[in-house]
Amino acid sequence: MKVLLINGSPRSDGNTARALAEMCRVFEKNGIETKLFWVGTKDVRGCVGCGNCASLGKCVFDDIVNEISAELRDADGLVVGSPVYYASPNGTVLSLMDRLFFSAHYSMAMKVGAAVVVARRAGTTATFDVLNKYFTISGMPVASSTYWNDAFGGSPGEAEQDVEGMQTMVNLAENMTFLMKSIALGKKEYGIPKNEKRFMNFIRPEGNVKAIKAVKAVKSAPAQALNKVLHRGKKAGKEEQS
């Protein structure tokens, strides 16, 4: 059983590193293999939306993103640690996550995800939300703790004094271990759930004609259109009663 940890901070011994180290200690105690990727000073460029990953199965920019992607394929969990920059994950983490999740053409379903965020003072929950969205669009169950997964500290190491923050990391790693182990058992017993995979933009050619007509009707005669809708509602109600 293996978990990958990404540290997006440019400070190798910073507060994100301390939070992740706390988790690693628990994983190792629980017999979970860990692999840490420190990406904070790497030149991780953003996604250019070229779509070549669809045929290549990996990103056209062959850097740390592809390295992590290859490791993640067989991993059971992923922890993404980011410092809070302007109430968001830092730029390196965002670029990495966009490219990692867009280019990986294997299923991430049932790999357990966890975001860990560290700030001097504010913006942790907004940052946490951003990172969790990569997991929840990918069929990845999200591990939770006894608080949102944040720790507070400004200069390197300060977060260690955030006793509750460090406790959150310990509990997160314990809960994540339990989830990964439970999912491994569940996979054996039930397999991975089969999900429907229909993909659709909001542009619907056949539905558009009707929708445009309806909007036009409302714009030109809002009162009549409203009446029509209300009338339709009443009629439907009567039909239901009868």
Ligand X SMILES: Cc1cc2nc3c(=O)[nH]c(=O)nc-3n(C[C@H](O)[C@H](O)[C@H](O)COP(=O)(O)O)c2cc1C
* Residues near ligand X (CB under 6 A): 9, 11, 14-16, 83-87, 118-123, 153-154, 156
Min CB(127)–ligand X separation in Å = 8
Nearer to ligand X, 121 or 197 (CB): 121
Q: In whole angstroms, how close is the CB of 147 to ligand X at the nearest point? A: 16
Q: How far is the CB of 22 from ligand X (least distance, A)?
A: 13
Amino acid occupying residue 218: V
Kindly tell me which of 77 and 83 has the beta carbon lying closer to ligand X: 83
Q: By Cβ distance, which residue is nearest to ligand X? A: 14
Nearest to ligand X of 127, 132 (CB atom):
127
Compare residues 53 and 118 and give the one whose CB is closer to ligand X.
118
Q: Work out how close the CB of 167 gets to ligand X at its nearest, in angstroms, rounded to a whole number.
A: 18
Query: By C-beta, is 121 or 198 nearer to ligand X?
Result: 121
Task: Give me the least distance between CB of 62 and ligand X, in Å please.
Answer: 27
